[in-house]
Structure 1
Amino acid sequence: MARPTSRRTVLGAAIAAAASAGTLSAAGPATASAMAGPAGAAPSSGRNAAAATLVDNRFWSTYTDWRCGDLAGTAAVTGRRPGVVITTPAGTVDHTDPHTGRGARWEYATWTSPVHRSAVPATEVIASWNAHTPAGTWLQVELAGAYSDGTDTPWFVMGRWASGDGDIRRTSVDGQSDGKASIWTDTFAVDDAASGLRLTSYRLRLTLYRRPGTRLTPTVWRLGAMASDIPDRFGVPASEPGLARELVVPRYSQNTHVGQYPEYDNGGEAWCSPTSSQMIIEYWGRGPTADDLAWVNPDFADPQVCHAARFTYDYQYEGCGNWPFNAAYAATYRDMSAVVTRLSSLTDLETLIRAGIPAITSQSFLEEELTGAGYGTAGHLMTVIGFTADGDVIAGDPASPSNEAVRRVYRRAEWEKIWLRTKRYNASGKVVSATGGVCYVYWPAVPTPAQRRALEAVGIH
């Protein structure tokens, strides 16, 4: 089956070409020529030294974390799930939504992280967050940092987000560049990685908004980023199988939704990311209520997939594949945590599966590169739910003709290559970029000790 071309991958190739030519257009989604994912096999007890030099995760989520930030009209709150909220607004601002044309006045307050010096001088940074935004509230995430040449970035908007779509339309912001780096939908990317320029440190800033005169507030439980610097590669060393286990994960096909709600990225044929997210959310026993789904046509099967597409949709990107927006959607459900990161090998995924944590991976491939897929794709998300006795990958592939057909077994070496590489040849023989180990990980906000150890082993704290 033919897959639609991913805007993320197409514009990623354009970034690579522009960087080599010394020019860059600041519009479109993430995937730069240095799109990265760690190589090599990590032992199940932890990450190997090579992987540790490629990816740096820093997430703020504890009461101490929130207290250590710069609070301007915000406060840290304790409890089972510490967070940051508006207390006394720092001021008001008029904002016109570019996607609706509606203007409104909002009260705002900010929280700014301490400076984080990345263990990895980075070519790319992807932020993610977990939050609750009741109707009448929303939030913005920004990043600013320092380059290896001693200069500083401006504040870049990494996303304007709300769990609903009645107050603002959640959106990435195109056209952001300082001549050294650009924002490609959800990713900060150095324009010319070959120059040696890197981002050495950064801060994140939350701005929380609410209608004037109310006591409503967003609550943010987790905020952080994944920084990485991976050399270009067409392949990776194969890892050795180390686990035979399969998790029981719900199965949903995106293709049963083709033609439904085309206003959300042309309907189901492009819904691999929200469909994958919904599978994992339901694995953890969460999901939308009947009231949540009342807007969906009752003739449509699996209305929760339509719901996930609507509430992950990025109105600037015009798609449901914004990585942080998918993680943020997962974390809107009761006591769920979610991040976007990069992993080093299938050994890292085995570590998660062993602890009962499935994952969602991003890959692109020609039909002949993944035996049994029956299609090629310029960008696709799937769930990884287990491994066979031979070490092959058991996937929940939403690009299947029916829910029953979603469970697939793919060859280990083929899967590892198409997931972790940063460069590939397309059907025309042209070199294009690949996503390089990108992974969404969703887990309960209070994990078991075994789950906590597994998350820490793959660099998530």
Structure 2
Amino acid sequence: MTRAEQPSRRTVLSAAVVVAAVAGGAAPALASDRTGQNADRTADPAAADVGPTAARQVDHRSWTTFQDWRDGTAHGVRAVDGARPGIVIATPAGRTDYRDPHTGTTATWEYATWTGPLHRLAVPATEVIASWNAHTPASTWLQVELKGTYSDGTDAPWYVMGRWAAGDQDIRRTSVDGQTDGRSSISTDTFAINDAATGLRLSAYRLRLTLYRKPGTRRTPTVWRVGAMGSDVPDRFTVPASTPGLDRELTVPRYSQEIHTGQYPQYDNGGEAWCSPTSSQMIVEYWGGRLTPAQLSWVDPSYADPQVCHAARYTFDYQYEGCGNWPFNAAYAATFKDLQGVVTRLGSLTDLETLIAAGIPAITSQSFLKTELTGAGYGTAGHLMTVIGFTAAGDVIANDPFSASDEAVRRVYNRREFENIWLRTKRHNAAGTVVSGTGGVCYLYFPAHLTAEQRRALAAVGVR
């Protein structure tokens, strides 16, 4: 997150794809500040406001069960059952060379693939975001791809949604720029229809996982969850007000990104840009995730909250040059024992109340002018914060990492203001130009083994 309302790399690239989508050069898919804290919109000709009781505009599907993995097409992988079913390399399907664009190193890797069944979207989508949970020991990594079918019956190409490893010793985790077929494109972590005003949508997709390991090792990635969120959220500057329904606050650790300003500038210029990993670390620790002294031994011992530095390093996207790649944050959370992470969109503060009531905090993405969120004291082209509860009056209690100290992180924000800056898809920046809003994007991290209440709450917001 940055203080200034400046156009980002994503904003510029997306606007270049479809200048005519919205007057003022708004992006058709994703816009964000330089830090990678995404602010995205879906360009739809229907500009009607959509309230919290409206039909869902999001389709979230994940593959997690033993049967799910068996339903896919395997080449060299096998499904493993147990407390946390997944897939691993059995007998590699072949070998390939990969030149890491961020190190210049070319290495040979064994690989195996799993291709999921075709999923027909209940909500034909203008945007799709994949997310995954996996273990990648040293000498292993994975690639996630998406191939879609358009609403006119034609196919999109296979798009790379991420090349990922939990560590950074073998490859540099990376998004892949420059992917387009002229009708859709990949903007860092998001598939988007280039011009949604044409009515074109993605009606179905399948996912493909490629698991890699160094020849000669028996190590393997293990993938426990893969899925995607497709959405078609109509353009809107405002959303109707929801009715408060919960008075509860969760006890979530508080961490400031600002106390890390200037630390490890190789990871997106240091702490001032670390709202996403800082928020992720708060919720990881809420669920009991802890880093060992050995894992933190690389951090300067004079730095407070070294786990935030660790989160920044291990969410960093070397192509995007930021820590705000949404799926990379969810994947980072799932590297902690018995945690899962997904990226989705929610439709209302009522959805957040449902989650908080079940003990599940959420990380929300929003962008706003300084005058649009009372008490924040800043404006931003994109920022992540952690919603931890609601007051008796219905206002939002958030751990806002853009704070001067850990003690100052807890904030109470006006319900109506927060609701609008989070759920809208269009807004005006400080120059008066129409730019993107996030449309309700959030990260959800939760236990691998859910209580009945947690399961019901997640199902109620479309996550299973």
TM range (shorter): over 0.9
Change (3 A) 1:328 1:67: same
CA distance in 2: counterparts of 1:31 and 1:301, whole angstroms: 29
Q: What is the alpha-carbon distance in structure 1 between the residues aligned to residue 67 and residue 263 of structure 2?
A: 45
Cα distance in 1, alignment partners of residues 392 and 31 from structure 2: 42
Q: Residue 126 of structure 1 aligns with which residue? A: 129
User: Is the CA contact (8 Å cut-off) linking 2:63 and 2:226 kept in structure 1?
Assistant: yes
Contact 2:387 2:397 in 1 (8 A): yes
Task: Answer whether contact 1:72 1:90 (CA < 8 A) is retained.
Answer: yes
- What are the residue-to-residue correspondences of 1:45-444 with 2, within 5 Å? 48=53, 50-52=54-56, 54-444=57-447
In structure 1, how many angstroms separate the alpha carbons of the residues matched to 2:247 and 2:69? 40
Per-residue CA shift, 1:359-412, capped at 9, x if unaligned? 000000000100000000000000000000000000000000000000000000
Report the secondary structure of 1:15's partner residue: helix
Query: How many angstroms apart in 2 are the aligned matches of 1:369 and 1:199?
Result: 34
Over 3 Å counting, the alpha-carbon distance change for 1:28 and 1:384 in structure 2 is: closer
TM-score, normalised to structure 1's length?
A: 0.95
Residues 181 and 416 of structure 1, relative CA distance in 2, 3 Å threshold: same
Q: Is the 8 A contact 2:365 2:384 kept in 1?
A: yes
1:19 counterpart = 2:18: yes
Q: 1:440 to 1:25 in 2, by over 3 A?
A: closer
Question: What is the alpha-carbon distance in structure 2 between the residues aligned to residue 395 and residue 21 of structure 1?
Answer: 36
Give distance in 1, aligned partners of 2:124 and 2:29.
Answer: 23
SS of the aligned residue for 1:202 comes to: strand
Q: What whole-Å deviation, never above 9, does each CA across 1:313-364 have from its counterpart, x for those lacking one?
A: 0000000000000000000000001100000000000000000000000000
CA contact (8 A) 1:57 1:225 kept: yes
Q: Secondary structure of 1:168's match?
A: coil
Cα–Cα, structure 1 residues 277 and 427, in superposed 2: closer, same or farther, change >3 Å?
same
Distance in 2, Cα, partners of 1:138 & 1:242: 44
Alpha-carbon distance, 1:12 to partner? 3.1
Distance in 2 (alpha carbons) for counterparts of 1:246 and 1:426? 32
> Contact 1:26/1:176 (CA < 8 Å) preserved in 2?
no
Any idea what SS the aligned residue of 2:230 has? strand
Cα distance, 1:268–1:353 mapped onto 2, change above 3 Å: same
Distance 1:456 1:38, change over 3 A: farther
CA distance in 2, matches of 1:433, 1:393: 22
Shift of 1:296: 0.2
Contact 2:48 2:235 (8 Å CA) reproduced: no
Distance in 1 of aligned mates of 2:433 and 2:31: 20
- Aligned to 1:223, the other structure's residue is in SS state strand
Q: How many residues align?
A: 453
Moved more, 25-34 or 451-460: 25-34
Q: Which residue of 1 aligns with 2:42?
A: 34
Deviations 1:34-61 (A, max 9, x none): 169997554xxxxx4x342x10000000
- Deviation at residue 286 of structure 1 after TM alignment: 0.6
Tell me by how many angstroms 1:150 deviates. 1.7
Residues 101 and 212 of structure 1: CA distance in aligned 2, closer, same or farther (over 3 Å): same
Q: Which residue of 1 aligns with 2:452?
A: 449
Residue identity opposite 1:387 in structure 2 = F
Structure 1 residue 149: Cα displacement: 1.6
3-state SS, counterpart of residue 334 of structure 1: coil
CA distances 1:13-70 after superposition (whole Å, capped 9, x unpaired): 652464134999999977665169997554xxxxx4x342x10000000000000000
When residues 103 and 27 of structure 1 are mapped into structure 2, their CA distance, relative to the original with a 3 A threshold, is: farther
Identity of aligned residues (%): 70
Deviation of 1:288 after TM superposition, in Å, equals: 1.2
Q: 1:10 to 1:170 in 2, by over 3 A?
A: closer
Which structure 2 residue ranges, 5 or more long, are not aligned? 33-37
CA distance in 2, matches of 1:28, 1:234: 15
Partners in 2 of 1:35 and 1:163 — Cα distance? 34
Q: CA deviation at 1:2?
A: 6.4
Q: Does the 8 Å contact 1:13/1:433 carry over to 2? A: no
Q: Matched residues in 1 for 2:198 and 2:285: separation?
A: 45
1-structure distance, mates of 2:43, 2:29:
17
Measure how far apart 1:6 and its partner are: 7.1
| TM-score normalized with structure 2 length | 0.94
Supply the distance in 2 between the matched residues of 1:257 and 1:413 (Cα, whole angstroms). Answer: 31
Contact kept, 8 Å, 1:15 with 1:33, in 2: the verdict is no
Q: CA deviation at 1:10?
A: 5.6
Q: Once superposed, what is the RMSD of the aligned Cα atoms? A: 2.2
> Distance between the aligned counterparts of 1:32 and 1:249, measured in 2?
27
Distance 1:366 1:85, change over 3 A: same
Cα pair 1:38 1:230 within 8 Å, conserved: no
**Counterpart-to-counterpart distance in 2, 1:39 and 1:427:** 23
Residues 39 and 336 of structure 1, relative CA distance in 2, 3 Å threshold: farther
Q: Which residue of 1 aligns with 2:35?
A: none
The alpha carbon displacement at 1:425 in A equals: 0.4
SS of the counterpart of 2:97?
Answer: strand
Q: Please give the secondary structure, in 2, of the residue aligned with 1:154.
A: strand
